[in-house]
Amino acid sequence: MIIGYTSGVFDLFHIGHLNLLKNAKSMCDRLVVGVTTDELVSYKLKKAVIPFSERMEIVRGIRYVDAVIPQETMNKFDQWEKLKFDVMFVGDDWFQSDKWKLYESQFNEVGVKIIYFPYTKGISSTLLNETLQNLRK
């Protein structure tokens, strides 16, 4: 059985989120998704529009998702130590970043493959939030 893992804030759920989860599930038997806690979102000096508990339920309701867990740390290797997943899925906006080069090295040592999916162009929760704010002005 191949266990896959991905994580995100999943605020203002959109087609990019759905594409990530659908594509990830097609490449593993069991997909575990970490949803970023409200406290962790604040590290970006941001605040999620949708509360954490509701974001968890939204992601849990997606048919491609087998399990949902809180993401309480940005350290992906900490999550692997808890879950022992076989493959990790991430958007290609992180590809070749210093942070992910380090993760690739760490995960390679334990046999975990990282798969980068194309970032869905033209859509993001940040963009949706900015658009909503502009509409309210």
Query: What pLDDT is recorded for position 87?
Result: 98
Q: Which of 44, 47, 84, 99 is catalytic?
A: 44
**pLDDT, greater one: 137 or 11:** 11
- Residue 53 scores a pLDDT above 80: yes
Span 90-100, average pLDDT? 80
Residue 101 — pLDDT band, cuts 50, 70, 90?
confident
- Domain holding 53, by residue range, is 3-136
The pLDDT of residue 97: 77
Q: What is the mean pLDDT of the chain?
A: 88
Q: What is the pLDDT of residues 7-28, one digit of tens each?
A: 999 998 888 899 999 999 999 9
- Residue 119 confidence (pLDDT): 76
The one catalytic residue in 22, 46, 99, 101 is 46
Helices (H), the chain: 15-25, 38-41, 52-60, 76-83, 98-109, 125-136
What's the gap between Cα 104 and its chain centre?
Answer: 16
Alpha-carbon gap, residue 28 to 23, rounded angstroms: 9
**For 28-41, how does the pLDDT look when each residue is reduced to its tens digit (9 = 90+)?**
999 999 999 999 98
For residue 38, what are its two tokens?
């409200």
Q: Which two three-digit tokens encode residue 124?
A: 């993001």
pTM attached to this predicted model: 0.86
CA 91 – CA 7 distance, rounded (Å)? 10
Task: Identify whether the C-beta of residue 5 lies closer than 8 Å to the C-beta of residue 87.
Answer: yes
- Among the listed residues 80, 72, 81, 56, the one whose alpha carbon sits nearest the alpha carbon of residue 89: 80
**Count: domains in the chain:** 1
Which CATH number covers residue 97?
Answer: 3.40.50.620
Please, are residues 30 and 4 in contact by the beta-carbon 8 Å criterion? yes
Comparing CA positions, the residue from 100, 102, 132 lying closest to residue 116 is: 100
Whether 3 has a pLDDT exceeding 90, the answer reads: yes
Could you confirm whether 25 is annotated as catalytic? Answer: no
Q: What is the pLDDT of residue 126?
A: 64
Q: Which residue has the tokens 């339920």?
A: 57
Task: Respond yes or no: is residue 113 known to be catalytic.
Answer: no
Check whether 134 has a pLDDT greater than 70: no
